[in-house]
Chain A
Amino acid sequence: MGDYSKDFLITLYKMMVRIRVFEQKAEELFLQGKLPGFIHLYIGEEAIATGAISNLRKDDYITSTHRGHAHMLSKGASMDRMMAELYGKKTGYCKGKGGSMHIADVSIGVLGANGEVGGGLPIAVGAAMAIKMQKKDSVVITFFGDGASNRGSFHESLNWASVYKLPVIFLCENNQFASTARVQETTSVENISDRAVGYNMKGVTIDGNDVLLVYETVKEAVDRARNGGGPTLIEAKTYRLKGHFVGDPVLYRDQKEVEGFWKKEPIGRFENYLFENGFMSEHQKKKIWDDFLDEVNNAVKFAEESEYPLPEEALTDLFEDDTGYDY
């Protein structure tokens, strides 16, 4: 483990807690029937978004997934506008048109969550092409799951990024399940990073519940990409502690298995490390959680007090100019 400042370690911890608190609140609200649609929770996977995005600058880009709240939050999104979007309110990031699965903030470099598994990879590759063509030194991280690694877009994107030596980090969040299907039953390789060899790029599989290891591994890949060394495939192995979506009856796995993985979840694990090394006290911990609970409760208040969009606002935002609507 590298030599990190206490401030940096606490920052990582805070980022993970902020995600967890947001996700727990979203789950609670959904179960209370307050959120329309579907939501997919990132609980148990917080170390990946946190460790990875901590390496990025504001002018770097990411593409996210249907399980994407954490990527937005890590890249600097406000809980207020996130929550408002989950509620379908006008003050949300997408004015209520996108919801949880299509949340985006281009101004902070989030080129979209994506309702399509594997939909973000080609977009990331394109952003990297634009970066290279404009001779900039930004990089792109594209997050995707184990399920997406079986899509054609994965193959096309990795080959393409390798051919043009593009500044992309392919970050596979292997949470063991593609919706209800186990990765072992649907995937030809034990480690998805083994596929990197087919694209002549470096591939590495790591423990995705170890936030510092994620940080370090992604740092190496980001440095390589920024310096013209091309793409990397990183597989961060984790475990989806919740169902595919909130309300999933979860008939495909044993609850005992889930309980076993709760013992390995990344926040408690990092907390122990911080306690053991004297980087954080119980008091500090409580304050961190309380502060984020305040933030999320304020976000809920903001969302609930915000207006719904007017029905006819559905007809805006299709195009930049006013031609081509033709109602």
Chain B
Amino acid sequence: MREITFAEALGEAILEEMEKDPTIFTYGEDIAKQGGIFGQYKSLLGKFKDRVIDTPISEEVIYGSALGAALAGARPVVEFHFADFIFTGITSIVNQIMKFKHMTGGQGKIRVVLRGPDGIAQSAAAQHSESIETIFMYIPGIKVVVPSTPYDMKGLLKTALRSDDPVIVFEHKMLYKIKGPVPEEEYLIPFGKADIKREGKDVTVVTTSRMVHESLKASEELQKEGISVEVIDLRTLIPWDKEVVLKSVKKTHHLVIAHETWKRAGWGAEIAATVQEEAFDYLDAPILRVGAKNVHISFSPPLQNYIVPDYKSVIDTVRRVLNV
């Protein structure tokens, strides 16, 4: 199978859907002429010129306009530039986009896709490095997509582009350039279906995004010691695939949850609570979590790398949960 990058997979999904659906248009900062700060829109350069639009730095309108555009029959795909800047216009997302349908008794099809980069990269420091997907799992009203591979990126984004509900997609900056197999023929990946990225029998690691790759690397190391790790990539947090997680825990009896966002009250806590509610008797050890330390992402590389987890954090935590 051919291999393409995560960014190319993203571009293909948008271009293919724009060909089919004339109501799709996409806008945000630095996308039309530059192809995105991280090259995420490079494959859209020069295409659909009046439907790929550079905008002012006006986050409240970038997000809030998407609701109005959807209510007026369009399907806007909005880039949030950096996950950190979601906070700049968050009222438009939380108070408007995420509440509109429920608050109005089910009116409108809120066909809004918000997408953009999150996570650490190249010492971007505190205001350009955050992962904040937990917030959108916590507040009701939006589907949350956190892809880890080019294949998943394309299939999930195509589903988002056909959804009648708002969707937010977090694309880790360090993933845009990774390559992976993506078929030429069309496919879609439904929301709420986890992917078992590696099968194992001793411990389950539930993860998403960049930490999928760190967890796979950790699993290879641990395999050398005879520890068999099952790596489950949730792919979407709303909805999240409880069945696959519970089934795996019932097999391995040990659970680690790994994410780049802060450990304290990060989404791993929700997964852990659900598993202890529904599969307590199957657990042979307390559920452990891997996440960022509860400070802001620092600039200096040794500081950044100390705060944010990597494969070594996963290895340490798996050893702790297995008590080896």
A interface residues, Cβ below 8 angstroms from B: 61, 63, 92-98, 102-107, 111-112, 114-116, 119, 121-131, 133-134, 138, 140, 152-153, 156-157, 159-160, 163, 316-321, 323-326
Contacts and interface: CB of A to CB of B under 8 A. Distances in A.
Given A106-B108, A160-B58, A123 B51 contact: no
B69 A129 contact: yes
B288 to A, nearest CB: 23
Interface stretch (B95-103, B149-157, B227-235): B95-103
Contacts of B68: 61, 63, 111, 122-130, 140
Nearest to B51: A133
A111 B103 contact: no
Given A97-B105, A123-B64, A323 B239 contact: yes
A159 to B, nearest CB: 6
A132 to B, nearest CB: 9
The 10 closest A-B pairs by CB, nearest first: A122-B64, A126-B68, A126-B65, A95-B105, A317-B106, A130-B74, A130-B72, A156-B58, A123-B68, A127-B68
B101 A318 contact: yes
Interface residues of B, number: 51
B77 to A, nearest CB: 12
A261 to B, nearest CB: 32
B61 interface: yes
B107 A105 contact: yes
A319 B76 CA distance: 17
B170 to A, nearest CB: 16
Interface in B60-108: 60-61, 63-74, 76, 91-92, 95-96, 99-108
B104 A160 contact: no
Contacts of B96: 114, 116, 119, 122-123
Contact of B165 (A125, A153, A159, A321): A321
A195 to B, nearest CB: 16
A326 B238 contact: yes
Contact of B65 (A106, A115, A125): A125
A326 B142 CA distance: 12
A122 B61 contact: yes
Contacts of A107: 107
B102 A152 contact: no
A244 B53 CA distance: 40
B106 to A, nearest CB: 4
B104 A106 contact: yes
Contacts of B240: 326
B192 interface: yes
Given A122-B60, A156-B58, 19 more contacts: A61-B71, A102-B99, A112-B100, A112-B104, A119-B91, A121-B64, A122-B67, A122-B68, A125-B68, A128-B72, A130-B72, A133-B51, A134-B72, A152-B60, A159-B58, A160-B55, A317-B104, A324-B165, A324-B191
Contacts of B66: 126
Nearest to B65: A126
B143 interface: yes
- Most B CB contacts (10 A, CB to CB) among A104, A114, A159 go to A104
Given A125-B65, A324-B143, A326-B239, A316 B106 contact: yes
